[in-house]
Structures are given as C-alpha cells and as structure tokens.
C-alpha cells in the first residue's frame, strides 16, 4: 500500500513529524486550553487569519483558543491525511506591530505647536498684565530709558530692572510673546487704556516747554491750554491743560525749573556757612518779643470754668456714694471703711454709711442699692427696704415696699422691721442675697459707744 509523501516542515505550518489533521472517524481524544489569555499571534495564526479559514478567526465575543496540542500517543498504523494547505506570504501591513496609531507629520507638529503657544501665553501672562505691557511701551517711547521707567512707573507688582529689560527684549524679538501681548492689549477696556495713558511719563521735550514758564509767574489753566495748542506734536495726545499745570507745580515744588537752578558757591566758602543748630545757639530767647495770640485768654477762662464745674459735680455726688458695687469674681476681703456687704450671685454691694436704701433706680429716682444690677427687678419697688446701723452695732432692715421681704425664710411685711445677723439670707422679689457683717469694724464701733456712754 502506497502512502502519500509526508510534507516537509517548510510546506506546512504544523509541527514536524505529526500529521496535519486526523480523520473524522478517529476516536482519539485531544486536549486544548480554553483560557482567555491575550497574546500576540504567531506567524502561522496570522496566515490563517488572513486566509479567512473558518474556525481560524476569533470574534470579539468568542474566547481565544490556544494552538492545539496533540498527545504524544501516536497510532501504530499510518493515517491518510488531506493535502497540505499552500502557504500564502503574510502582507507587510498585517504583521504584528506596536499597536499605536501614527498620525501624519503635519497633525503632530500642529498639535505640538498649539500646545507650545498655549504654554507660552499662559507663562507670559502670569505676572505681566496687559496694562503693565502698555505702560512699559509708553514709558520707553517717552523717555528712551529703562531706568527712568523703573523709577517712575507703578506697575501691578514689583519688577526689577532686569525683569523690565528682559520683558522689553521679549516684546521686541520674541514673536510669540509679542503676538500674545499685543492681542491682550487690544482686548483692554478703553477706560483702562486711557488711565494708563494719563499716567505716561513726561519726555525731556515736554519738560523743556514747561520750563519756559518762570517760577515767579502764576500761570493759569488758559496759559497751559495755549501752550498745548501751540505744540501738539511735542506733547502726548492724552495731555490736558490741568495735567500740565499739575506737573509744572511739581517741578516748581522740587526746584526743577530752569530759573530755579542754584549756582554753586565758590571754593573755600563752605566753612563760613552756619548750620541751623549754630544759628539757633546764637539766638537769645529773652530778647525775642512775647507775642500774645488773640483770644487765648478767653479760651483759658472757659477751660478753667469747665474744670471747676466738673469738680463741683464730683463733690456733690460724693455724698451719694454710700454703696460701692463690685463683681463677685473680683471680690476680696472687707476693708476698714466697709460696714457690711450685701452679696448676690453677680454683684455685691459694699455698705459704707449707717443707712442705705434698697430698691430699683429709675430715670427720675435714684437709689443707693440698685437691684437691677443683680437681675430682673421689675417687681421690686423703687424703695423696697432700708438698712440701718444702730449705735449698738446691730443692723435692722425695715420693709417699705408693697411686696414682702423674706429674711431667713420669714416674711417681713410693709411697715415692719427685722434684725439682720451675719450670714442672713435676704430674698427680695426672687433675688437672693447674703448679708455679711464686718465684725472687726462693728466691734470697734461698739467699744467707742461704751466709752462715750451713748444710751442705747
């Protein structure tokens, strides 16, 4: 039995020594991997893909199948195989590549150039505003000196002389920066442009024309208007008669007009010039006349009357200061002038006299102890109670208001009185106080009363 010749490895893409395919009736099992691992196609897979062999091309929804591998167990008898498939050369454009789409050279250069322009414009307009560029251009055109521009123009931020120089060269020789700057200046509002033009520096020719007016003269606005109309080619178009007059006054103030130039003193005369301190030492104050200003005596008399009036008011109100009010947080020990203390939650009242009135102060009525400082006292009478110190050293409180007063829990009605002891609790219309007595001072008062034999 004759067998067909086995195809050589060059004529087939299969593995050498293995038949390219099995018969459909063969029951030999084959194994393959179904893992969906993305990998690059080999040359043989590219050939099958290009030929459009059914089963060789893999759709997007199907899983990628790896190359079929056969078992090492081969049959003992030879099998009839189909004729080998001719090999078609792979097209050069279908070979595996990097997978990147390359655009045309014109597109890449254009996009790159656009990005560079946007970067230049963003970097250029970072610190330099369009108003700064306009002021720089006008200043250089007027003075032709970057040092004067750096000293005389107030930019949006502080620039050094080197930055001004580099910016000026960039506007002259860098086409990209100059194009962006000119476009930004064209978009400026007319009011901003006029404001920058009004602050343009004065040129030397303009100051020479202003110097023709003498410093001793008093030129009017009409004179500067005539000077502006006679020399329109010298003055900047934004100049007005008032601006020229203001600049001429500045030149006169700082001694910059031509007729104000001080001639230098001859050599050897500097030693004879007196300084201000030397001239002041030579003066005698006693020889100077004493000039009196008009109306100063009247003002002194008025000030004296006001001060005397304030002193009288203080003297008359001194008798009313029978009670001092202090904060509870800042309270300290009792001094030698305080007889007793009415201590609340917020303030404490220091009793300095033998008799004090307790109540609520109004616009027309004043009271010694104003309970409105402690809390809401709408239900307190204007004169609720009176606290008196007797010669024996005892304190008594008499109730004089409509509502009763509670002392240590006992009510005291109107017209009645009660003795106050040390640490007695007094309640008046919901306001609670503790009555504290200065024992040292009260004992001294009792001893004096015994010595004088004052009847009780």
DSSP strand E in 360-409: where?
A: 369-370, 385-389, 395-399, 405-407
Identify the three-state secondary structure at position 157: coil
Instruction: Specify whether the CB–CB gap between 428 and 435 falls below 8 A.
Output: no
Rounded average pLDDT over 342-355: 86
Query: What's the token pair of residue 406?
Result: 């509670």
Q: How confident is the model at residue 71 (pLDDT cuts 50, 70, 90)?
A: very low
Which of the two residues, 131 and 366, has the higher pLDDT score? Answer: 131
With a cut of 70, say whether residue 266 has pLDDT above it: no
The predicted structure's pLDDT at residue 446: 82
With a cut of 90, say whether residue 161 has pLDDT above it: yes
DSSP strand E in 226-346: where?
A: 323-327, 340-343
Query: What's the token pair of residue 420?
Result: 């106050």
Query: What's the token pair of residue 391?
Result: 């010669």
CATH number of 318-452: 2.60.200.20
Backbone phi, psi, residue 358, to 5° = -115, 130
Instruction: Specify whether the CB–CB gap between 307 and 299 falls below 8 A.
Output: no
Distance CA 170, CA 182 (A): 12
Rounded average pLDDT over 307-317: 84
Domain with CATH 2.60.200.20 in the chain: 318-452
Distance CA 129, CA 135 (A): 10
Instruction: Specify whether the CB–CB gap between 56 and 45 falls below 8 A.
Output: yes
State pTM to two decimals. 0.35
Instruction: Specify whether the CB–CB gap between 347 and 325 falls below 8 A.
Output: yes
Q: pLDDT of 391-445, one tens digit each?
A: 888 899 999 988 899 999 999 998 899 999 989 999 998 899 999 988 888 888 8
Q: pLDDT of 91-132, one tens digit each?
A: 444 444 444 434 444 445 555 555 554 444 444 446 899 999
Identify the three-state secondary structure at position 323: strand
The predicted structure's pLDDT at residue 352: 85
Q: pLDDT of 162-210, one tens digit each?
A: 999 999 999 999 999 999 999 999 999 999 999 999 999 999 999 999 9
Backbone phi, psi, residue 301, to 5° = -65, -40
Which of the two residues, 293 and 127, has the higher pLDDT score? Answer: 127
**Widest CA span in the chain:** 167
The predicted structure's pLDDT at residue 406: 93
Q: pLDDT of 24-67, one tens digit each?
A: 444 555 666 566 665 665 555 554 544 444 444 444 444 444 44
Distance CA 200, CA 159 (A): 18
Classify residue 69 by its DSSP letter.
B
Q: pLDDT of 421-436, one tens digit each?
A: 989 999 998 899 999 9
Going by C-alpha positions, the residue among 420, 450, 454 that lies closest to residue 438 is: 420
Residue for token pair 């230049």: 120
With a cut of 50, say whether residue 365 has pLDDT above it: yes
With a cut of 50, say whether residue 144 has pLDDT above it: yes
Mean pLDDT of the chain: 75
């Amino acid at each position: 039995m004759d067998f067909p010749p086995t195809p050589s490895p060059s004529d087939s893409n299969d593995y050498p020594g293995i038949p390219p395919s099995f018969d459909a009736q063969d029951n030999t099992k084959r194994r393959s991997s179904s893992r969906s691992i993305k990998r690059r196609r080999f040359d043989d897979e590219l050939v099958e893909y290009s030929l459009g062999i059914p089963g060789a091309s893999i759709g997007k929804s199907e899983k990628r199948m790896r190359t079929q591998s056969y078992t090492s167990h081969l049959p003992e008898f030879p099998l009839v195989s189909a004729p080998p498939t001719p090999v078609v050369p792979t097209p050069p454009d279908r070979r595996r590549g990097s997978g990147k789409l390359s655009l045309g050279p014109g597109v890449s250069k254009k996009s790159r150039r656009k990005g560079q322009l946007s970067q230049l414009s963003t970097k250029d307009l970072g610190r330099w505003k369009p108003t700064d560029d306009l002021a720089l251009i006008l200043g250089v055109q007027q003075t032709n000196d970057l040092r004067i521009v750096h000293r005389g123009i107030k930019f949006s931020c502080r620039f050094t002389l080197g930055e001004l120089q580099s910016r000026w060269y960039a506007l002259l020789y860098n086409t990209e920066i100059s194009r962006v700057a000119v476009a930004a200046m064209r978009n400026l509002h007319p009011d901003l442009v006029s404001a920058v033009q009004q602050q343009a520096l004065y040129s030397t020719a303009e100051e020479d024309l202003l110097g023709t007016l003498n410093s001793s003269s008093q030129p009017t606005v009409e004179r500067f208007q005539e000077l502006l109309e006679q020399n329109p080619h010298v003055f900047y178009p934004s100049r007005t008669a008032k601006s020229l007059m203001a600049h001429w006054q500045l030149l006169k103030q700082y001694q910059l007009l031509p007729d104000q130039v001080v001639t230098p003193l001859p050599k050897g005369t500097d030693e004879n010039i007196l300084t201000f301190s030397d001239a002041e030492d030579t003066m005698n104050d006693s020889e100077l006349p004493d000039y009196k200003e008009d109306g100063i005596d009247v003002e002194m008399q008025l000030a004296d009357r006001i001060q005397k009036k304030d002193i009288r008011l203080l003297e008359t109100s001194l008798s009313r200061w029978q009670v001092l009010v202090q904060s509870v947080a800042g309270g300290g020990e009792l001094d030698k002038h305080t007889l007793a203390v009415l201590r609340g939650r917020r303030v404490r009242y220091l009793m300095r006299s033998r008799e004090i009135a307790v109540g609520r102060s109004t616009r027309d009525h004043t009271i010694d102890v104003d309970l409105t400082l402690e809390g809401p006292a709408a239900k307190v009478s204007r004169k609720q109670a009176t606290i008196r110190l007797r010669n024996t050293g005892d304190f008594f409180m008499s109730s004089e208001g409509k509502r009763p007063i509670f002392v240590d829990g006992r009510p005291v009605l109107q017209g009645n009185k009660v003795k106050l002891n040390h640490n007695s609790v007094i309640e008046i219309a919901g306001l609670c106080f503790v009555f504290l007595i200065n024992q040292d001072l009260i004992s001294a008062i009792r001893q004096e009363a015994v010595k004088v034999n004052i009847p009780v």
